[in-house]
Each structure stands twice: as C-alpha cells, then as structure tokens.
Structure 1
Amino acid sequence: MRDTADKVDLSACRLCVIRNRGSGKQDDQADTIRAALQDRVAEFALRETSQGDQLGRLARQAVADGFDVIVAAGGDGTQSAVAGALAETDALMGVLPGGTFNYFARDLGVGETIEEGLETLLDARPRAVDVGRIGDLVFLNNVSLGAYPHILKTREGIYKRWGRSRMAAYWSVLVAMRRLRNPMRLTAIVEGRERRFTTALVFIARSAYQLEAFGLDGADAIRAGNLAVLIAKARKPLPLLRSALRLAFGFSAKDSDFDLIVTDSLTIETDRPRQLIAHDGEKTRMESPFHVQVRQGALRVLVPADGSNKTRDAQA
C-alpha cells in the first residue's frame, strides 16, 4: 500500500454511495448515511440494490456519471464488486463496512462499523492499494478453489435459516467438510516452473489482516505486493476438517497444514475444465487455467487522514 499526503476536501466532491441492502444484518442505515454526508459534499447520491450482481453495474454507472468519490456500503463482497468497477480509474473509493467479517475495512484501518466508516470519510486522505485479479475478476481479500467455494454454498443455506453471524459461518465449515469427497489435482506455474499438487483446498490471499486473523504466514509478503498462495496438504475430509477448524479459529500454521507459495502472479491448471471459484465471499464458475496476479496501486481508497487505525484502536 502506498500513501498520499493530501487530505480530501469532501465539500468539493460529488459523492455517490452504492449500498447493498442485503449485507450483514440488513439494518436500514440509509438515513444514517444520508444524514452524515448529504450536507457535507457538493453533490450526494445514494443508489441501493438488494441484488449483489447489480453492484458492479451501479458502480460503473457512477463512474460514467462523473462522481469523484464512490462509496461501497456493505460487506466484503460489496467492497469487491465496487472495487472491480473502480480499479484503474480516477475515482476515489470510500468504505462503509456492513458485513459479517469486513476484512477489507479492517485491513485499511477504517473501522468495523458504518459509524466508524463515516468518521473516516469526513476526514480522509487517499491511499493507493494493490488488488488481486483472477481472469477479469478483481478481488480484495482472497480467491479459493476446492473446499471453500462449497463452504460458501453451505453457508448461504445456513444464513437463510439461522441468520448471519460468525458462529453460523464457522458451523458451515463443519457441515461442508462432511460432504467433501474428491481432492483436486492441479499444476501451479510460477515464473515458468511447474509444481504439481493433489489437494482439497487452494486459498490465494491478498489481505494481510485476514491471514494474521487466521494465524497464517504470508502477511508480510502481501504487504510487499505479493500473493500468499496456501495449498492444503490434507486430501481427505477428516484431516482437512481439522485444518479448516484450526484456520477458522486462528490456530493454524503453514508448516503443518499448508504449502506456501509467495509470488505476484501465477497460473493454476486443474484436472477439471471448469471449477467453482470463491472470491471475497462470492462464487463464480470459471474455466481452467486460472491466471492470478497482483495489480499494484490499482485502486485509490480513502483512509483516516491522521494515519490512525480505527480497527486497531477499537481493539486496544
């Protein structure tokens, strides 16, 4: 991440909030956002949707409409969808966390709540951040193949029945692992060198905060502009379940559970021509081979102007 010194004069900005009404606990916070921002900017717009696949379209339209600052209000999937539209444009991105984990917001230090995010927006400076890309998709935290996309499918059903919570997310790991049967065979190509693996899970991380929360190595490599590619050594459900539980509760270590590859780009070829890919909590079916890379400094995001970290301060 690279910082720029100039503080943003929000009063001179045209600002558009893209809000996902389906994120988090679905509290209606539109009035809070409008009250905090409407009279503090040159022009204010709030565009909402309950359909996640419409977020990117709304963000691209906001860019086309000439808004200076485009704010994503929602969880990590919302942040990723908006970032995909804003990456490598002149627009500034604001972050209002409203999901279950909010890894991107926590990584930036803008806080974990809508209120903390609004406080950041009102006294902010831009920071150029790296993003990941797999094919045409931008990701902020991670992409994964194998078990994790199926965990997400299971999680959706559990959320619908029991509501969103971190405990429900962890429970979905247990349920999904029971259904895991066949590991993947894949080839990872890094700088022309091929490495072959048989594994049930590939986890490609771009969030240093998330890796540290999971107790995994690779955070420093991410801060240096790389990907941390974690390939599970476990091939069968029971040992993979142990690894997943240790990871979920922060007790994992790469030496015992994962092979670690550090690189800024790689290609992954799988034994199946199409795979379900998880990216920042969303799912997309894509064709092998998968080309993954870091796009350095591709996204300009608003962070606290004084260099403070609201996430760290709140935990202190």
Structure 2
Amino acid sequence: MAATAAVLVLLLALGGGGLLVVVAGLLGLAVCAAGIWWFVARRGLVRLLGATVAVAAPVGVLVFYAQSGLWLIALISSLCWAAAVTCGRAALHRARPPRSQRPVRAHRPKRAVLIMNPKSGGGKVARFDLVKRAERLGARVVLLDPSAPADVGELAREAVEDGADLLGVAGGDGTQALVAAVAAEHGLPFLVISAGTRNHFALDLGLDRADPARCLDALADGEEIRVDLGDVCGRPFVNTVSFGVYADIVQSPEYRDDKTGTALKLMPDLLAREGARRLDARVDGTRLVDRQALLVSNNPYASPDELSGAGRRPVLDDGELGVIAIRVENAAQAAELALWGSQAPGLTVATARRVEVTAGGPRPPGEEARIPVAVDGEALWLRTPVVCSVRPRALRVLLPRDRPGVPPPAPPVDWRLLLALACGAAEQDA
C-alpha cells in the first residue's frame, strides 16, 4: 500500500510536476555518483571539481524542489517509499527469518590459553585489564611482545602440545584466524576476545565490541556453536579476502598510519591508469574478467551494500563463500552503478564453494605470477591462481551466555515475494 501510494502521489501530481520530481532525483543521483568517481579516480583540479559536484548535486536537487514548489510532492513520495521499504523488510524478515544456530552448553575449560596482543585496538588489553581478569578465571595468558613479532600460530601449537584444552585470542581478525586454524585442526574450542580495532568476526558472533572483558565470561559460563572457516591457499580467514584495489592499498607502509590519505593518493593509479592490474576469477562455474576489485567472504553478507564497518553476515555456518566483484572504469559506469545497484553490469554478487583468482592479461612464459591479497586486513602476496574455499562448521567457538547479540540484518527488498506475501500465496506455500 505504501509503495502504491508513493507512485499515486507522483501520478496525481503529473500536471504539477510529478515527473520532474522523479527526473530531478535520478539525475541528481547520477551526477553525484559521477562526482564521487572523479574525486576518487583523479587528482588535482579534477578531484576538487568532483568533490564539488558530489556535494552540489544533491543540494541542487533540494533547491530545485524548493524553488519550483515541488518539495511537498517529493517529501510525501519519499516518506511513502521509506515506509514501503521498512514494512517490506519487516514482512520479509517475518516470512523468511534468518536461520540461527542453537548453542550447546559448554564444559568449563581447565587449561585455557589466551594469546593477547597489547597493541591491538589501541591498547585495549591494558585498558580493560584483560590479563588479570583472564588469570583470575584460571586461564594462562601469553602476552605478545610488540618489539619482537612472534608466530602466533606456532605459539598456539606449543600451547596445544602443553595440554591446552581451549585457545583464545585478544587481537585483530587476522590474528584470530591464525589461532582459530590451530584450534580447528585439533578440535579445540576457540574464544574470541574483541580487543581489535573493528572486530568484524566478533560482531557477527554477537559479542560486545565495546567491552572485550565480557567475552571472558565464557570461561566460567559459556556455550558453544560451530562456524565455518575460510581457506585461501592454505591460510585461514574468518572474515574476508580482498583482491584488487583494496589489496593494493593495504600493501603501502603508510596505510596503517593514514588509511584515508593513502587510499586517496593511490586510487587514481589503481582505478583509471592505463595498464592498471585487473583480475580474472572463476566463481564455481562462472568466469569473471577484468575486474578492478573482488571480495570473497566467509559466508555472504546480507547485501552488497553491507560492506561498510556496519556490514554483517546473517549466518556463519552455511558452508558458502560470498563473492562481490566490481568493475567501474569511468563516471558513466559509476552513475549506472548508483542507479541500478546490484543489477548494474559492473557489479557481480554471488555465492560459491570455490573461487579461483588470477591476474588479468598475459605474462611472460615461465614467470611466476603473484598478486597482492588482503586476508582479514593483513597484506600478503600470493602465487596465482589464488584459490579460496570454505571448511564447513570446522571451528568450535566458545561464547559467553550473556552477550548483547546483534539485530538481524535487514533483508533486501524482493518485490515479487512481497506481492506473493500480500496475496497470501507465499504463506500458503510455506
């Protein structure tokens, strides 16, 4: 009803500019996307022009609505669309709720070993007094020395040889993955302590990222679930493997200290320069050619729009990889992506059991090809073909019984299914 009302408002206002509302809105969106492209893919005056256009386009649309007296029509139609999307997502969530894994009660570990990185997350280990809290709960803590980088995987194996019955990590996602692989190899439970900077894995597990000390409650009163573990050329990952633009950027030594500045400095060469590296990939049986960026995730994100820090994966035990590939080479394609979203030719969204990635273009005979890869944010160079796969339910994760959890991510709006729900057909099928 809300979607119908949004359309009716525009149709009834055709004589009063209903069509202009739509055209101006779409044109503003396309011009804004083109401006963003010029801002990230160019330098100097063109970059400045792009920033100006990206800001001026939506402002210009609003000024046009106000000056032409169309603001009320635009406002009513927008509110109706917002109501339609909100109600639609709620209906889809109720009709097809995301599957959730039921945890099982866990035995209290007797010889837990926790590896902690004191630099992770800007010093969260010290700020939340994690070492003393863990030791009071009976765990042995291995504190990494920032001045002497250690092989955390080897430390975890030594702990297993010494009789550890649980492994845990207070650190970033890259460190989490290395120790998780050892825990999975030996069938031990694994404890995630959200002491990293972003902690995407902890987010999807429903852990408290604001207070990592709450994760330690699992040592006294915990429950266990099983999740998938990703694999890229024999190296584990818990979140994502990135190829292309982002992987090239994180190789820069300046990236850790100035992420935004480094990205803006490098992106023009990576996006628009002639001869820039492109990617080919085989996603199960589908071939992708000349992509600028490709992201492979351990289970798919709720939607391709969920790639910011707030993005979430509804489940972690589906046994599938999520795949998002992008190719945008000019302002027109950027505008097309803004208008069509996941339906644009430059964006591919898929799921797969196996993804094989190579560098695009020919290479000299006998020359070994390597490409930059970002594995859970860690910069690596890997020999091609780079093969990503998933080990279903390979990892036992220990969780505190009392944890904040996360609200389920909003599903993308499927209008066909919504119509079926409105007519009762989908409920009858269920």
TM superposition score category, shorter chain reference: 0.7 to 0.9
1:229 shift after superposition: 1.0
Partner of 2:359: 270
1:217 shift after superposition: 9.8
The structure in which a higher percent of residues are strand is 1
Deviations 1:49-83 (A, max 9, x none): 32665222211211222211111011112212211
Q: Which of 168, 171, 174 is equivalent to 1:77?
A: 174
Partner of 1:115: 213
State whether residues 174 and 241 of structure 1, in contact with CA within 8 Å, keep that contact through their aligned partners in structure 2.
no
The structure-2 alpha-carbon separation of the partners of 1:230 and 1:209, relative to structure 1 and needing over 3 Å to count, comes to closer
State whether residues 218 and 228 of structure 1, in contact with CA within 8 Å, keep that contact through their aligned partners in structure 2.
no
Q: Aligned Cα RMSD in Å? A: 3.4
Q: 1:286 and 2:382 equivalent?
A: yes
1:226 shift after superposition: 0.9
Q: 1:214 and 2:277 equivalent?
A: no
Looking at both structures, which has the greater relative contact order when contacts are Cα pairs under 8 Å and sequence separation is at least 6?
A: 1
Aligned to 1:49, what secondary structure does the other structure show? Answer: coil
2:318 maps to amino acid? A
| Alpha-carbon distance in structure 1 between the residues aligned to 2:392 and 2:292 | 29
Q: 1:92 and 2:189 equivalent?
A: yes
1:179 maps to amino acid? D
Q: 1:141 and 2:229 equivalent?
A: no
Q: 1:17 and 2:114 equivalent?
A: yes
Partner of 1:304: 400
| Alpha-carbon distance in structure 1 between the residues aligned to 2:342 and 2:335 | 13
| Alpha-carbon distance in structure 2 between the residues aligned to 1:170 and 1:209 | 24
Deviations 1:261-302 (A, max 9, x none): 211223223336211111001122111112211101111111
Partner of 1:179: 269
The structure-2 alpha-carbon separation of the partners of 1:53 and 1:152, relative to structure 1 and needing over 3 Å to count, comes to farther
State whether residues 168 and 193 of structure 2, in contact with CA within 8 Å, keep that contact through their aligned partners in structure 1.
yes
1:241 shift after superposition: 8.9
State whether residues 373 and 379 of structure 2, in contact with CA within 8 Å, keep that contact through their aligned partners in structure 1.
yes
Aligned to 1:202, what secondary structure does the other structure show? Answer: strand
Aligned to 2:129, what secondary structure does the other structure show? Answer: helix
State whether residues 206 and 406 of structure 2, in contact with CA within 8 Å, keep that contact through their aligned partners in structure 1.
yes
Aligned to 1:224, what secondary structure does the other structure show? Answer: coil
Partner of 2:14: none
Provide the TM-score with structure 2 as the length reference: 0.60
| Alpha-carbon distance in structure 1 between the residues aligned to 2:230 and 2:101 | 16
| Alpha-carbon distance in structure 1 between the residues aligned to 2:371 and 2:192 | 30
1:197 maps to amino acid? V
The structure-2 alpha-carbon separation of the partners of 1:132 and 1:52, relative to structure 1 and needing over 3 Å to count, comes to farther
Aligned to 2:372, what secondary structure does the other structure show? Answer: strand
Partner of 2:137: 40
Partner of 2:107: 8
Deviations 1:10-34 (A, max 9, x none): 4xx1011111233221355288223
State whether residues 301 and 311 of structure 2, in contact with CA within 8 Å, keep that contact through their aligned partners in structure 1.
no
1:184 maps to amino acid? R
Aligned to 2:134, what secondary structure does the other structure show? Answer: helix
Q: 1:202 and 2:291 equivalent?
A: no
1:252 shift after superposition: 10
| Alpha-carbon distance in structure 2 between the residues aligned to 1:40 and 1:305 | 16
State whether residues 214 and 252 of structure 1, in contact with CA within 8 Å, keep that contact through their aligned partners in structure 2.
no
1:203 maps to amino acid? L
Query: Structure 1 vs Structure 2: percent identity of aligned residues?
Result: 25
State whether residues 265 and 294 of structure 1, in contact with CA within 8 Å, keep that contact through their aligned partners in structure 2.
yes
Partner of 2:37: none
**Bigger mean CA offset, 59-68 vs 21-30:** 21-30
Provide the TM-score with structure 1 as the length reference: 0.79
1:176 maps to amino acid? L
**Bigger mean CA offset, 194-203 vs 125-134:** 194-203
Deviations 1:139-172 (A, max 9, x none): 0100011111122134x51433xxxxxxx54554
**Bigger mean CA offset, 64-73 vs 200-209:** 200-209
State whether residues 190 and 398 of structure 2, in contact with CA within 8 Å, keep that contact through their aligned partners in structure 1.
yes
The structure-2 alpha-carbon separation of the partners of 1:207 and 1:243, relative to structure 1 and needing over 3 Å to count, comes to farther
The count of aligned residue pairs is 293
Q: 1:254 and 2:342 equivalent?
A: yes
1:258 shift after superposition: 2.0
Q: Which of 318, 323, 339 is equivalent to 1:229?
A: 323
Partner of 1:188: 282
The structure-2 alpha-carbon separation of the partners of 1:279 and 1:82, relative to structure 1 and needing over 3 Å to count, comes to same
The structure-2 alpha-carbon separation of the partners of 1:170 and 1:3, relative to structure 1 and needing over 3 Å to count, comes to farther
The structure-2 alpha-carbon separation of the partners of 1:255 and 1:66, relative to structure 1 and needing over 3 Å to count, comes to farther
